[in-house]
Amino acid sequence: MTAVAATVARNETTEWRAILLRLVPFALIAAAAMILPFVSNDYWALIGTRAAIYWVLVSGLNLIVGFAGHLAIGYVALLTLGAYTTSVLVAGNVMPEVPVFAALPIAGLVGAIFGVVVGLPALRLRTFYFAMSTRGFATIVAQIALAWQSVTGGGIGIAGPEFPAPFNTAWGFYYLCVAFAALCTWLSANVAHSRFGRALIAIRDAEVAAEATGISKPRMLIAIFLFAGALAAVAGGLFATLQTYITPDAFTFDLSVLFFIAILIGGRGSILGPMLGTIILTILPEVAAPLAAWSTFLYAVLLLVIVLAMPGGIAALLDFRNRRPLASNRAIVPRPAALADIVRKSAGEKSLSLRGLTLSFGNVRAIDNLDLDVKPGEIHGLIGPNGSGKTTTLNVISGYYVARAGTITLGEDVLAQGLPALRARHGIGRTFQTPRVIGEASVLQNVMIGGTIEGQATFIEALLALPRNRRDERMLTDKARALLGVVGLEALAEVRADRLQHSELRFIEIARALMLDPDFLLLDEPAAGLSNQEIERLAALIIAISRRGTGLLLVEHHADLIFDICDSVTVLNLGRILAAGTPAEIRTHKEVVSAYLGG
């Protein structure tokens, strides 16, 4: 225990240093923004203000595009909406005049609602479809702005809101927008570095694994669509003031392209990158005046270059840490003994039982009338030839497939079929045949994803970095580090997961599943691709996990591993049980030997 405490303390100081180091670029940008008024003229005030306003929108959109990976290309629609809402409220041509500082929050509210309306299709539609639907929405908002003359002034337009002193001068308004931009940076960074931000990346890069850890995609996405919609509409209100007079022409699709490309140039899953991207794209047409007409063309070329040549964007260029070579002769040395200090012992005496489970794909019976029991603290092996229904069984237990007949019970409770995102709450964790790991996140973050549902703080608390969120973060970080120690990967905690070897990914998946303190753990071919030495270490780890009271269901092809560590074994063939019993019985079972083991 003391050893673990000591490593935690040491890690905290290095973490603080890392956080400070990460803040340096933001501090530099903030300093530059503060100095700008003293070294330039009103023309630059305009450009600076524009960049700050764009960033207010982009900081929210970044969570959708950069973190959740949804290609929302029509966000100018929400800027338009916010601009008109604020202007109309302040002008008072529909209802009594509203002061501008009250109109902005109202616009934010309207933006949040429409943010969800635009975003909802993302829950079901894939990439290109979603991109198209946001673009269609942008077209429609522009048409409505043009046609609804009594409110928006149609093609003639409407005056933008005016801010009271001291914000009614060019530099006064500039400082206001920079303050907004700083606030939005803080808010979006809070989300990004909370369990919500990690969950978004998990949905983007490893949706299936995210579900298995209990992350609810709809709730996550709706939260960020509300947030991004609100920011976009507030940006719209500020934009209307900057323009002083708005017509539908001010909101061309080119703006959407700018926002979108700023994020991609910046790099996915980063805050600093898109911020630099926004600043660069805002300034670019100004410093290259002859190119102003070609600015959209330039953005498009940049987008193409980014996609083809450096998909990681600016963030990847600045990521010096991950360019250091890793030790090539590193070995995974798990320390299963440390498990006792971290994972709380499973209390339950409940068994996981399958009764009469049947599932067909077309005319093929993948599983046929399967009965199986996994008891707490027991290692249950599930073996059989390829295509005998082993992984399918795991997928039915995890809720990815709905069985045509039969039940899954946990103690007395019948588990609803389907609904994979609810399995984690029942204490069922799993790993996958092909490791489903988020390549762009660090090893530590990957493991922390496993504990997402253990967090207590709400989205609002995470947004404002309130104490409960900080407590969650500390708890998840400490537990993830400790579990990395258990599986023997703590030296690689800060490394991007896609730089690791295949065998290391398998151990990351186990650590991620252990974050849940699972009562039952389903392992899908954990030994595939491991060296003999690693398999021995894996075996020790699996035994240690079972000693904690966790029931394990182990799908494996390495017969030696199964017979060494399992308490009971079920053999499948063509979806049916060929034999079940202790390893000793199975080893000598005639049909098993002839059908599967050979001999």
- In whole angstroms, what is the distance from residue 550 CA to residue 585 CA? 24
- Under the binding rule (CB under 8 A), the answer on residue 311 touching other proteins is yes
DSSP conformation class of 337: G
- In whole angstroms, what is the distance from residue 434 CA to residue 523 CA? 11
Helical packing angle, 272-287 and 42-62, nearest 10°: 140
Q: Choose, by CB under 8 A, the member of 36, 91, 120, 422 that binds other proteins.
A: 120
Q: Which stretch binds other proteins (CB under 8 A): 21-29, 304-312, 320-328, 504-512?
A: 304-312
Q: Choose, by CB under 8 A, the member of 18, 34, 297, 418 that binds other proteins.
A: 297
Nearer to other proteins, 296 or 369 (CB): 296
Q: Kindly state the smallest distance separating residue 298's Cβ from other proteins, in Å.
A: 9
| Burial 499-528, CB ≥16 within 10 A → b, else e | ebeebbbbbbbbbbbbbbbbbbbbbbbbbb
Q: Which stretch binds other proteins (CB under 8 A): 103-111, 136-144, 216-224, 334-342?
A: 136-144
DSSP conformation class of 250: G
Q: Kindly state the smallest distance separating residue 300's Cβ from other proteins, in Å.
A: 4
Q: Which stretch binds other proteins (CB under 8 A): 97-105, 397-405, 473-481, 532-540?
A: 397-405
- Under the binding rule (CB under 8 A), the answer on residue 304 touching other proteins is yes
Q: Kindly state the smallest distance separating residue 580's Cβ from other proteins, in Å.
A: 25
Beta carbons within 8 Å of 310's beta carbon, 6+ residues apart: 316, 317
- In whole angstroms, what is the distance from residue 67 CA to residue 61 CA? 9
Q: From the CB of residue 448, how many other CB atoms can be counted at a distance below 10 Å?
A: 28
- In whole angstroms, what is the distance from residue 381 CA to residue 372 CA? 11
Alpha-carbon torsion 201, 202, 205, 207, what sign? Answer: negative
Going by their DSSP bridges, the two strands 379-383 and 245-246 should be labelled as unpaired
- Under the binding rule (CB under 8 A), the answer on residue 135 touching other proteins is yes
- Under the binding rule (CB under 8 A), the answer on residue 136 touching other proteins is yes
Q: Which stretch binds other proteins (CB under 8 A): 38-46, 151-159, 170-178, 301-309?
A: 301-309
Q: Which stretch binds other proteins (CB under 8 A): 29-37, 138-146, 445-453, 469-477?
A: 138-146
Q: Which stretch binds other proteins (CB under 8 A): 42-50, 143-151, 486-494, 549-557?
A: 143-151
- In whole angstroms, what is the distance from residue 517 CA to residue 462 CA? 23
Q: Choose, by CB under 8 A, the member of 55, 75, 84, 137 that binds other proteins.
A: 137
- Under the binding rule (CB under 8 A), the answer on residue 296 touching other proteins is yes
Going by their DSSP bridges, the two strands 551-555 and 364-374 should be labelled as unpaired
Distance of CA 386 to the CA centre of its chain: 33
Helical ranges in 502-554 per DSSP H: 502-514, 532-547
Q: What part of residues 62-81 is at the interface with other proteins (CB under 8 A)?
A: 71, 73
- Under the binding rule (CB under 8 A), the answer on residue 134 touching other proteins is no
Q: Choose, by CB under 8 A, the member of 264, 316, 357, 482 that binds other proteins.
A: 264
| Burial 285-299, CB ≥16 within 10 A → b, else e | beeeeeeeeebbebb
Beta carbons within 8 Å of 408's beta carbon, 6+ residues apart: 352, 353, 354, 357, 396, 397, 414, 415, 417
Assess contact for 352 and 522: CB atoms under 8 A: no
Q: Which stretch binds other proteins (CB under 8 A): 150-158, 272-280, 393-401, 574-582?
A: 393-401
Q: What part of residues 9-68 is at the interface with other proteins (CB under 8 A)?
A: none
Q: Choose, by CB under 8 A, the member of 300, 333, 540, 595 that binds other proteins.
A: 300
Nearer to other proteins, 51 or 306 (CB): 306
Strands (DSSP E) contained in 384-535 are 405-410, 413-414, 428-430, 520-524
Q: Choose, by CB under 8 A, the member of 85, 86, 133, 213 that binds other proteins.
A: 133
Q: Choose, by CB under 8 A, the member of 6, 307, 310, 340 that binds other proteins.
A: 307
- Under the binding rule (CB under 8 A), the answer on residue 419 touching other proteins is no
Nearer to other proteins, 46 or 422 (CB): 422
Q: Kindly state the smallest distance separating residue 153's Cβ from other proteins, in Å.
A: 15
- In whole angstroms, what is the distance from residue 83 CA to residue 89 CA? 10
Q: Kindly state the smallest distance separating residue 142's Cβ from other proteins, in Å.
A: 10
Nearer to other proteins, 160 or 285 (CB): 285
Distance of CA 537 to the CA centre of its chain: 31
Nearer to other proteins, 256 or 469 (CB): 256
Going by their DSSP bridges, the two strands 352-361 and 405-410 should be labelled as antiparallel
- Under the binding rule (CB under 8 A), the answer on residue 131 touching other proteins is yes
Describe the chain by its helix, strand, coil percentages, rounded to 5. Answer: 60, 10, 25
- Under the binding rule (CB under 8 A), the answer on residue 326 touching other proteins is no
- Under the binding rule (CB under 8 A), the answer on residue 345 touching other proteins is no
Q: Choose, by CB under 8 A, the member of 293, 324, 327, 599 that binds other proteins.
A: 293
Q: Which residue ranges make up the site for other proteins (CB under 8 A)? A: 71, 73, 120-121, 124-129, 131-133, 135-137, 139-140, 143-144, 147-148, 207-208, 253, 257, 264, 293-294, 296-297, 299-301, 303-304, 307-308, 311, 395, 398, 400-401, 432
